[in-house]
Structure formats: C-alpha cells, structure tokens
Amino acid sequence: MGLRHRWSVRVRFTLFAGVVAALLSMLLATVLMVAVNRLATDYLTNEIAAAAGRVASVVDRETPLNPLPHSLVDNLQVVDPRGKVVSSTPRLQGKPPMASFTPSNGRSTQTSVVCDRVFPPDQCQIVVAQRVYRSGEPWIVYSAAPVVPYLVHPRLALVLIGGAVFLTGAVTYVSYRVVRGSLTPVDAIRSELDEINATCLGRRVPVPPSKDEIHDLAESVNRTLDRLQSAMERQRQFASDASHDLRSPITAMRAEVEDAMMAPAHTDVTTMGSSLLGSLDRLQAIVADLLMVARLDAGAPGVREPLDLSELVGSELDRRHPAKMIKRDVEPGVLVIGDRLRLARLLTNLLDNAERHADSSVSVMVRREPGGPGSLPSAAVLEVLDDGAGIDPDKRGYVFQRFARLDAARSKDSGGTGLGLPIARQIAETGGGTLTIEPSKRGARFVVRLPLAPPSARDAEAGSGRTRRSGASDV
C-alpha cells in the first residue's frame, strides 16, 4: 500500500494546498522579478541615452573634451565619420569603439547589448548609439552601462523569496485549520458510530449546524440508524412472537405425552394421536409461514410469467374443501404477470382468514378495473368478502402486522398463525400490486389489485390454449 493510501484526507488536502501555494508563490515571485528587471533595464537605458544626448549636444557645436567628464555613466565614446575615437571617458582611453553598430533605418538612436570587445571578459553592456551631425557629417556617440542582473539586487531576491515562503506557509497553515475544522464533525460522527451497537441503537450521530454536505451526511446516517433500529425492533418482536407461537403447540404436545406416560394404562393412543396431529398441523403451518416470510424478506425473486387470474382462482376454489359456502363471481380472461404459486398462496391465505371469521358464506370476485385520465391505471381486481363481524376502520392497518390478532379473532379461532394476512400483502406488493381492506355493508372486504398483463402477454396467453373458468355459482 502506497503512502497516498496511508495519509489522511486532512494531510493530503493540506499538502495539496501547500504545493499549489508554493507553485503560485514561485510563479508570482518570478513574474515580479521579471517585471522589476524590465523596469530597471528601461530606466538604465533611458539614463544611458540621456548621457549620450548631453554629449551629442556638445559635439553638435564644438569638438568635445578628451577625456570626457563622467558622472552617472562611466563608458562614453565619440567616434568621428572615419570610425576613429576622438573622445572618451577615462576608463575607455586608448580603446577602439565599444560597438560596431550604428543607428539604421533613419533613426537617430539604437540600443543593443554588447559583450566582451572593450569591456571586461564575460561582461555584457547595454550600449546606446546616437547619431549627431557636425558640418554635415555623421558622428556617433556611444554610451554604455552593465546589463541589469536577472535578480536586479540580492535584497530584492531575498524579499521575494521570503515573501513566497511566508505566503506558502500561511496558505498551508490556513488550509490545515480549515480542513481540520471541516472534518471535526466527521471525526465526531465516526466516533459516535464506533460506539453504537445492538444494545444502544437509540444513539444518533451529532448533526453539525452548518448546512453543508457533512450536515446532509449526518442526517442521512441518522435516518439509516432509524431504519436499522426499526428493523431490529421488528426482528426482535418477530422472534419473540414466533417463539411464543411455536412454544404453544410444543407445550401442548409435551403435556399430552407426559400425561400418557404417567398413566399408560388409561391412555387412548388414537385420541392422543389425534390431539398430537392437531398440534403438529399447527406447528407445520407456523413453520411454513415463517419460511415464506423469510423468502419474501430476502427478496427471493419469484417466477414472473403471464397467467390467467380467473383460471387460477377457479382452480383453487375447485380444489378447496370449504367449511363455509363460497360464492364466486369471476370475469373470464383477466390476465396478470406474476408467480402462480405465490398468487395461489395469497388467495389461500385470504380464503382461510375469511372462512375463520365468516358466519355462513364467503364471496370471491375477479374483474378488470378500468383506469381513466388522472386516475390509477387499469388493474386486475381480486376481492374476498366474508359475512362476519368485520374489522373496525381503526384496526384495518393493524391486522397486516405480523402475529397480530384482534381480540375477537383470538376468542373465535386459534388456528391462525398471525402471518397469513401479512404474507398476502407482501406477495401482492412484490408483484407490483396492493392489498387493502375496503368498506363493505357487512364483514371484511379484502381487495387485491394487480397490474394487468400487457397486450403482447395477453396474446401469448390466448395462443397457449389454456382453459378459463367463469360464471357465477355457489360451492
């Protein structure tokens, strides 16, 4: 693993800011150095040209003195039309002309940089050549000064380097403080998350007051913790309810067996076997429902295929041995996309619930429900209606909770597992539909709405030659 992966975000960002600040500071120092060098060079060139101009004004009137007086410029020469130096400053006495160029293209002055020649080795000079006419003949006045160093002056270089170092350090320090302040809430969130476990799910991470991404992250983490807490509470409640419902038939069977062992001579094996089979049937139903709940919670995909809901309902009703009279009103050819086994389980759970609470009969209806502008799309509707006492409106949502039983249901029937209706709703929602309890004049009216199959699936189903049962009859 490289160093980059071991460094924290704080260190990486601070280093990045420091490197960028250093590069920008160096660039700024270089630009300032070039600008100052150019200004100094222009100023020096103007001074050299002014000195040459003063000498040229003398040459225009009379022969200049030799040697020439000097003040600011030590290198001055006057060259006659024949190229002979007739006058110069003391430093250049007895030396040839300092340059060979003359103003061209009709100009009176020209500037160039000359190295060596009459100057010390490896030293370059800014030379200004100025043409002046005397008695109609061109004379040249040369003036020169050393080229301005790139750094202009050591003090200036020290100031610029010191400023660049200070600016880099200041930006790096400020960046570190800003990043540390920005990441302090993240450290608090991480520290709090490390402390949260299954025994303290009610704790939440601190939310910073700033309305930024970290604030949004903290709120998102808290919402996730809310969902995890709710899921854990549901899981614990589910485990508690499941263990209670599993313990009841096991306790009953144990009591039967213990009674038989205490008085074997007075035990009727057939009677005891019938009693044990009833408890085993209830235990098997609970286990089957628990397995179905586990598969649905795990998101196990079912087989999604076009199927005739009307034919499915008819087949299930024909195979059933109802304890109450079942009235059917099934519209033919209602096609949906879904899992045949799961939809059969949905219908079975609704029928089992309806038969347990019906006084005398249960009605089953299948129909198409057309959609309309601004309303829900077309749907396949399955209704199961009993003629029992019904369910109070304020308790209709409660019956879809796992292991939930109304007091009336507990007193009237103990065969239910408390999972039938939750499983039925989960199957409907997995298939893209809904299961609700809707108002009715008498009893409980459970309504399942499923998306209709598309036209292509209907054509395929029609071509398969499946038999559909329809009509209204009593079982």
What is the predicted pLDDT for the residue at 364? 95
What is the predicted pLDDT for the residue at 35? 92
For residue 404, pLDDT beyond 80: no
Residue among 422, 380, 375 nearest 398 (CA): 422
**Which of residues 335 and 415 earns the better pLDDT score?**
335
For residue 467, pLDDT beyond 50: no
pTM above 0.95, yes or no: no
Contact 152, 40 (CB under 8 A): yes
| Averaged pLDDT for residues 387-400 | 86
Tens-place pLDDT, residues 90-143:
888 888 888 888 888 778 888 898 887 788 777 888 999 998 888 778 889 989
Architecture of the domain defined by 303-474:
2-Layer Sandwich (3.30)
What percent of the chain shows pLDDT beyond 90? Answer: 22
Rounded CA-CA distance 279/252 in Å is 7
Residue 315 pLDDT level (bands cut at 50, 70, 90) = very high
For residue 456, pLDDT beyond 70: no
Which residues touch 88 (CB under 8 Å, ≥6 apart)? 66, 67, 68, 76, 77, 78, 95
Contact 442, 311 (CB under 8 A): no
Is the C-alpha dihedral spanning 374, 377, 378, 384 positive or negative?
A: negative
* Strand-strand pairing, 434-438 and 445-451: antiparallel
- Cα Rg of the chain, angstroms: 51
What is the predicted pLDDT for the residue at 471? 42
Q: Does domain 196-300 have CATH number 1.10.287.130?
A: yes
What percent of the chain shows pLDDT beyond 70? Answer: 89
Contact 142, 127 (CB under 8 A): yes
Laid out side by side, the sheet with 445-451 consists of 434-438, 445-451, 379-386, 361-369, 325-330, 471-474
Residue 317 pLDDT level (bands cut at 50, 70, 90) = very high
Residue 474 pLDDT level (bands cut at 50, 70, 90) = very low
What is the predicted pLDDT for the residue at 390? 86
Average confidence score pLDDT of the chain: 83
For residue 239, pLDDT beyond 50: yes
Instruction: Give the residue carrying structure tokens 């100031």.
Output: 159
Extents of the domains making up the chain: 9-154, 196-300, 303-474
For residue 375, pLDDT beyond 80: no
Tens-place pLDDT, residues 185-213:
888 888 888 888 777 778 888 888 888 88
**Which of residues 338 and 467 earns the better pLDDT score?**
338
Q: Which amino acid is residue 472, in one-letter code?
A: A
For residue 69, pLDDT beyond 80: no
Which residues touch 242 (CB under 8 Å, ≥6 apart)? 286, 290, 403
**Which of residues 74 and 386 earns the better pLDDT score?**
386
Residue 3 pLDDT level (bands cut at 50, 70, 90) = low
**Which of residues 165 and 415 earns the better pLDDT score?**
165
> What CATH number is given for 9-154 in this structure?
3.30.450
For residue 410, pLDDT beyond 50: no
Residue 248 pLDDT level (bands cut at 50, 70, 90) = confident
| Averaged pLDDT for residues 169-184 | 88
Contact 103, 109 (CB under 8 A): yes
What is the predicted pLDDT for the residue at 1? 47
Residue 170 pLDDT level (bands cut at 50, 70, 90) = very high
Contact 113, 134 (CB under 8 A): no
For residue 381, pLDDT beyond 90: yes
Q: At what angle do helices 154-195 and 213-262 cross, to 10 degrees?
A: 20
With the CA atoms of 129, 133, 136 and 138 taken in that order, what torsion angle do they form, in degrees rounded to the nearest 10? Answer: -10
Residue among 468, 475, 424, 446 nearest 321 (CA): 475
CB atoms within 10 A of CB 9: 11
What is the predicted pLDDT for the residue at 62? 75
**Which of residues 111 and 298 earns the better pLDDT score?**
111
